[in-house]
Structures are given as structure tokens and as C-alpha cells.
Structure 1
Amino acid sequence: MTLILTVMRKEWRDLMRDRRTVLIGLAMGALLAPALIIGMNAYAAEKRTKQLESVLKLPVAGAEFAPNLVTWLEQRNVDVVDPPADIAEAIEAQEHEVILEITENYPAQWYAQENARVNVYYDGSRESARVARARIDGMLSQYSSQKGRMRMLSRGVDPGSASALLVVRNDLATEASRAGQALLFLPYFLILTAFLGGAYFVIDVTAGERERESLESLLLVPAAAWQIMVGKIGACLGFGLMMITVALLAFKLSFSFAPNLIVEMKLSWLATGAIALSLIPIALIGVSLLTLLAANAKTVKEAQSYMSVLTLLPIIPTFALMINPIKTQLWMYAVPFVSQNQLIMAILRGEAVGALELAVYAVSQLAIAAIILSLAAWRYSSERMALGR
């Protein structure tokens, strides 16, 4: 243990001397994601608020056929303007987001108390038109509902009789579960940070030292190769855990300072600590796997080329669960990345995780890490590693 701690202190001092690299690694790996998320949410909230509160310019073709409808729309922050000559061309050229057309049969259908037809034109593939389309759809639905009830009252029919069922919806979601739903993106960022948090450190202390030809002299000291490897991994794991801590604190503080922008995104201190503990196994697996790959790489560039492949590992299961969520089962806690995703989501939603699930998670993740560490130790002990081949 003394030898392992000595190697850890040596590697940690070497890393801390390069303060610029440490600061860039923390900023890019742990602080960038919270800044981007808060910034995007703030921008999206501000833009949506402006779109909902601003005057909506609505071209209306055939406005003379429904003057009451046009007046009703104008009373609801809608500026009715003249329609373009070619509706389809105007929508395609993005001159207008939504265009309303009132057909010439509208008056006859209206006075006959039939369904009076109006056409709404928009481009559903354009995200920018979503708010305007939703506003118009809501207004037309409200107008149709009001006039429909008036028609029934004029005939002496109770408007409530049009509905055969009275559906009372009871949402049993708790505040914690709503917060977990709003934070679906969080597991991906945290798992990726934990898995690759110490990546550049690992590459430097293994492939970097091989390329600089300083690893060979270190392996010649009177100590077992596995002890040197464990010391290096311990130092890299410490940096990875620091990355996790900084990222979690950044998310926690970001959500606290932006309550008006992200109402449902809440992260308690208890949940923050629980998530940090749950990420330790994947951080160990990441450091161990990178050490094994870097030990088989002759240059830093070769070791860095593995990064693009490793980045996909946490992406695939995380996005698969986001697109196609399935009920949590016991076997999931034994699968790397899937287990972390399910565990973090359970913590965010305030759900209890049983002792059996935690035991399966801890034993399986540590077993995987032990297998990878054994392979890395075998590689470190080989003659080719000592000779730099």
C-alpha cells in the first residue's frame, strides 16, 4: 500500500503542476454541460414567452365571410393582415408561419348550423411555427366550443349532455418524480463525465509515458508492476471523482439560481450525494478500461483514437432508454451504463431502491472492474510493456 500511495502522490503532483490542463479539463468536462443546459433553457423560455405574449400577425383569406370570427381573434392579441397571393409559396418561403383561410361556403354552413369549414396552413417540419400554430389551434378550438354550446342552449339542450363521460384525471406524480422527468438528460451527462472524466490523465500517465520513454524506468524500480498500475489508476480515479463532484455541484447551483427558468428541475443535496456514490463504479470501470487500452497503445494519438469509440458506449443505452423507456428489472442493475441510468433516474424521482438491486449493482460493477484491472495488470507485467514495445 505504501508503494501504491507513493505512485498516486507522484502522479497527482505531476498533474497538478499543469494547472492549465486541469482547469481546461474541469471547464470543458464538468462545467460546460450545466452552462449549456441553463443557457439553452433560459433562451428557450424567454423566446417562448415572447412568442406567447407578442401580437400574432395572422394572414386571413376570406375574412369577409366570417367577420365575427375575425373580430373575436383580434380581441385576443391577433393582428389580422391581408393574405398572400399564393399561400403555399408564402409558407414555403417562410414569409408567414400560419395562414388562415375561410371558405366561401362558411356563411351558408354557419347559418345552417353545420360545421363551418376553415383551413389552417402551416409547415409542420418547422420548429419556429410550433408556437404560432398552437396559439391559432387553441383559439379556434375555444371559439368552436363556445359557439357550439350556444347552439345547444338555443335549442333547449344542456351543453353538458354532449359528453357521455365525465373524466376526472388524478395525477399521482410527486414533485420529485416530476423533477426526475424534467431531468431526463442528466444521467447521460453525468455517466459520460464519470466514465471519461479521467481519460486524458489516464492517457498521459500510460501511453504518454511510454511515448516519452519514462514508463520503462518506472517499471524497473523494486515494486510489482501491478502496484505501479494501481497507483496510477488511483490518481486518475481521484481526478475523475473530482470531475463528478464539480459537475454535480454545477448542476445543483445552476438549478438553484434559475428557479424561474427551470421550475421542475430540482436537485436536493441528498440526491446529489447519492448520485455521486452511484457513479463511483462506472468511474472505476472507465479508468480501468482506458488504462488497458492505453497500455496497448504505443503513442498518445493512438490512445486518443479509442476515445471516439468509448464515447459511444454510454450514449447508446442512455438514448435507447430515453426513446423507448421500459420497466426497471433486476438484470438492468448488472449492465454497465444501463444500471447507472436506471439508478440515477430512481434517485431523481425519489424512488426507493431495494437492497437486492444495490447488491447486484455493486457486485456486478466491481466484478467487471476487477476483470479489466486484471487484464491491465497482466499487460503491465509483460516484458513488452517494460521494453516499450
Structure 2
Amino acid sequence: MWRKQFLQVWLKEIKDAVRDKRAMKLAFLPPVYMVAFFALGIGLAIHFQNTEERNIEITAYGNNPALIAWLRENKITVNPVDADPYPKVEKGEVDYALILDSPSKSANPRQPRSATLVYNASNQNVHGPVGQVRQLLYQYNGTQAALNVLARGLSPKLINPLSIREANVATDQQMGGLILSGVPLLLLMCAMMGSMGFAADMTAGERERRSLEALLINPVSAPTLIAGKWAAALLLTLAVVLLCLLLLAVALYFLPFNQIGLRVAVGPGALFGVFMALMPVACIAGSLQLMLGILSRSFKDAQTYMGFLIILPMVPFFIMMTNPGLYQGWHLWVPMLGQQTVLKGLLLGEAPPFWAYLAFWLSAIPVTALALWGAARQMRRAKIIYG
């Protein structure tokens, strides 16, 4: 009997949700907006990076033909000026400039010369070009030092006793995953927000319309009633998550990551792993939203209280951002934090251990059951029904 009652409640809530066009738009449009803004931001970042790499111009004051020729050989456009550009950089008329020391004719031609790189560090747009110019200046300095030592019949190894090399063992997929650091937060927020409007309407909305009392008159137990509402909210949340994943896969397929030397290939296997990792989050979200909706006095109050649930996926995101190398096995047993770790690994092309998904479910089931039990207990209170 309880199975039939559960099915009837579930079908009733699904029909009500589908009929509410406004709630459907509020549920399925946010993933579209978030993925669109994400794709736009990544596309603009790639465009700006390509533009900065192709057209780097620097204002130079002074005379150092060898250094200017070195910069021009490395595709840096040097614009000589006759006046000191330091005041212009301070006023913001010039983003960055290079001031070269010009010794007199009577000075020793081998005398060390200086080069001052002037820029405003508070301007975020100058860090990329200034970093490339700074690297070229260091390379030029090392090359000239080696030539001066070699001209005296000495080995250049005297000024560089330690030869430093770097070996990057990261694959193109792992390097490309670094640019997707915000995607786990986007997916977790979709899982938390998917059924927010529906859960509020199933609980506080029915109280406000005075239809909850008529529903409780039927011979249906409170746990069965709450379970049916939760199953409907879960189905709608998974539909929102699936839409978000499909849109994200399309965006990642068409974004030109190859223009900046990166490769992002999130295949069907990784998407399936992401979906399986988000299912426990959807279960927790639906149960918490129903409990908050039952305790709310009105539909507006329910939406306000449920809005605080968005903070839950943000906490592990900032933990991983501030401590990217922090990882321990017990993280997988913490809801949201374990999903954040696994989603990041899937985007980097890494396969998580199978027991990680088991840990997600074992940690989500108690939270979900406790929230549903609390909501079902409140359903029979006269204060909740009649306000």
C-alpha cells in the first residue's frame, strides 16, 4: 500500500511542477546562464591572452642598441621616446616603460649598464606583458655575462656554477584542467539550486495556499508523503544537473583551448563520473530544502532560508583554492568537500577510486534520512499545518 501511495504522491508533485511554467523556467534557466557566462569568460581570457602575446609594445627611454635589438628579435615592439616616461606611468598615460642607462662616450664601454622596468602593479592588465619583458631582460643579462666572461678566456660556467633545468610532467589534459577550477563549484551549485523553487512550493507554498491540510486528510503517512515529495524534487534536480552537464560538454568542445597550448577533453566517461558524484549532493539538497520549507511560514521565507544552502558548496571550494595541495582520504567522507576533490580530478583526466562513490553515498544517506525524518515529524504538528 505504501508503494502505491508513494507513487501517487510522486506523480502528483511531478504534474504540479510541470504545470508551473514559471518555476520550470527558474529551475532550468540558471544552468544555461552559468554555463554561458563561464564559456564567455573563458573565451575572452583566451582572446586577451593571444592578443597580449602577439602585440606587446613597450616605451623605451635611453640608448642601448643591443638590448633594444634583443627585444625586437623576441617580437617586442619598442617605441623610443625622448622624455623620461616615469611621470606618464604614474599618471596612467603609459602602462609600463623601460628606462635605459646611457653612459657617456668617455666611459668604459664594458661598464655595467642598468635598465629600469617601470609599471603600476595595481593594474592587472600589465602583469602578463611585464612578466614576458622581465624574463627577456634576465635572459639578455645572462647571455651578455656569459659573452663577457668568454671574451676573457674563461669558462661561462664560472658565473653559472649550477645549471637549472625544469621538467614539467603534467599532461596537456592536466594543464587544461587548471583553467576549469571553477567548474566544480558551478556543478555543485546546480545540484544545490535545482529543486529550490519546487521544494519551497511543495511545502511552504502548499501551506500558504491552504492545500496542505487537504492533502494530510488522506490516509497517507507523513514519511510516505515526505518521501514522495523528496523523490519528485530529486528527479527535477537531476534533470537540471544533466542539462548543466550537457551544456558544459558542448561549451568545452567548442572553446579554442588549443590556441593557448592546452587540451581539455572531458569525455562521456568523465561526465558520467561527475553525474554519479553529484547524485548524493542532489539527495542532500532535496531533503534539506524540504525541511526548511516545512519550517518556513511562507513561500518567500522558504526561498530566503534555502538561499543560505548555496554557501555549502562555496566553503569546500575556497578551502581547495587556498590549499590546492591539501588532500586526505577523510575528505571523501565529507559532503561537498569530497565531491569538490573528485570533480577536480575528473576534469584533470584522473580516475577517482571506486570506493570514493561509496563514501559519497554512505555520508549522504544519514544526512538525507535525518532531514527527511525531521520534515516528516513536523508534518503532523498543528502549528506547522495551521501556522
TM-score, length-scaled by structure 1: 0.90
**Structure 1 gaps, min length 5:** none
Count of aligned pairs? 382
Residues 128/178 of structure 1: CA separation in 2 closer, same or farther (3 Å cut): closer
Residues 107/19 of structure 1: CA separation in 2 closer, same or farther (3 Å cut): farther
User: 103-112 vs 38-47, which deviates more?
Assistant: 103-112
Structure 1 equivalent of residue 250 of structure 2: 253
User: 209-218 vs 95-104, which deviates more?
Assistant: 95-104
Contact 2:320–2:326, Cα closer than 8 Å, also in 1: no
- CA-to-aligned-CA distance 1:15-54 (integer Å, 9 cap, x gap): 21233542342122x1222211211111121122222212
Structure 1 equivalent of residue 180 of structure 2: 183
User: 259-268 vs 217-226, which deviates more?
Assistant: 259-268
Structure 2 equivalent of residue 371 of structure 1: 370
1:94-105 alignment to 2 at 5 Å? Answer: 94-105=92-103
**Structure 2 gaps, min length 5:** none
Q: Give the residue type in structure 2 aligned to 1:329.
A: Q
SS in 2 for 1:219: helix
- CA-to-aligned-CA distance 1:161-202 (integer Å, 9 cap, x gap): 533334443333344433443322111111111122111111
SS in 1 for 2:234: helix
Residues 291/80 of structure 1: CA separation in 2 closer, same or farther (3 Å cut): same
Distance in 2 between the 1:162 and 1:68 partners? 21
Question: Cα offset for 1:290?
Answer: 0.9
Question: Cα offset for 1:322?
Answer: 1.3
Structure 2 equivalent of residue 236 of structure 1: 233
Structure 1 equivalent of residue 300 of structure 2: 301
Q: Give the residue type in structure 1 aligned to 2:319.
A: A
SS in 2 for 1:169: coil
Q: 1:204 aligns with which of 195, 201, 211?
A: 201
Structure 1 equivalent of residue 6 of structure 2: 4
Contact 2:274–2:343, Cα closer than 8 Å, also in 1: yes
Distance in 2 between the 1:105 and 1:128 partners? 33
- CA-to-aligned-CA distance 1:235-272 (integer Å, 9 cap, x gap): 11111001110111111111111244573332111010
User: 100-109 vs 228-237, which deviates more?
Assistant: 100-109
Question: Cα offset for 1:118?
Answer: 1.4
Q: Give the residue type in structure 2 aligned to 1:363.
A: L
Contact 2:85–2:97, Cα closer than 8 Å, also in 1: no
SS in 1 for 2:97: strand
Are residues 1:221 and 2:218 paired?
Answer: yes
Q: 1:90 aligns with which of 76, 88, 91?
A: 88
Structure 1 equivalent of residue 28 of structure 2: 26
TM-score, length-scaled by structure 2: 0.90
Q: Give the residue type in structure 2 aligned to 1:124.
A: A
Contact 1:99–1:121, Cα closer than 8 Å, also in 2: yes
Residues 86/350 of structure 1: CA separation in 2 closer, same or farther (3 Å cut): closer
Q: Give the residue type in structure 1 aligned to 2:283.
A: L
Residues 77/169 of structure 1: CA separation in 2 closer, same or farther (3 Å cut): closer
Structure 1 equivalent of residue 314 of structure 2: 315
Residues 109/355 of structure 1: CA separation in 2 closer, same or farther (3 Å cut): farther
Structure 2 equivalent of residue 60 of structure 1: 60
Structure 2 equivalent of residue 127 of structure 1: 124
Identity of aligned residues (%): 26
Residues 267/229 of structure 1: CA separation in 2 closer, same or farther (3 Å cut): same
Residues 296/107 of structure 1: CA separation in 2 closer, same or farther (3 Å cut): farther
1:146-161 alignment to 2 at 5 Å? Answer: 146-161=143-158
CA RMSD, Structure 1 to Structure 2 (Å)? 2.4
User: 256-265 vs 42-51, which deviates more?
Assistant: 256-265
SS in 1 for 2:241: helix
Structure 2 equivalent of residue 337 of structure 1: 336
- CA-to-aligned-CA distance 1:94-128 (integer Å, 9 cap, x gap): 211111112355878872443x2111111112111
Contact 2:10–2:229, Cα closer than 8 Å, also in 1: yes
SS in 2 for 1:100: strand
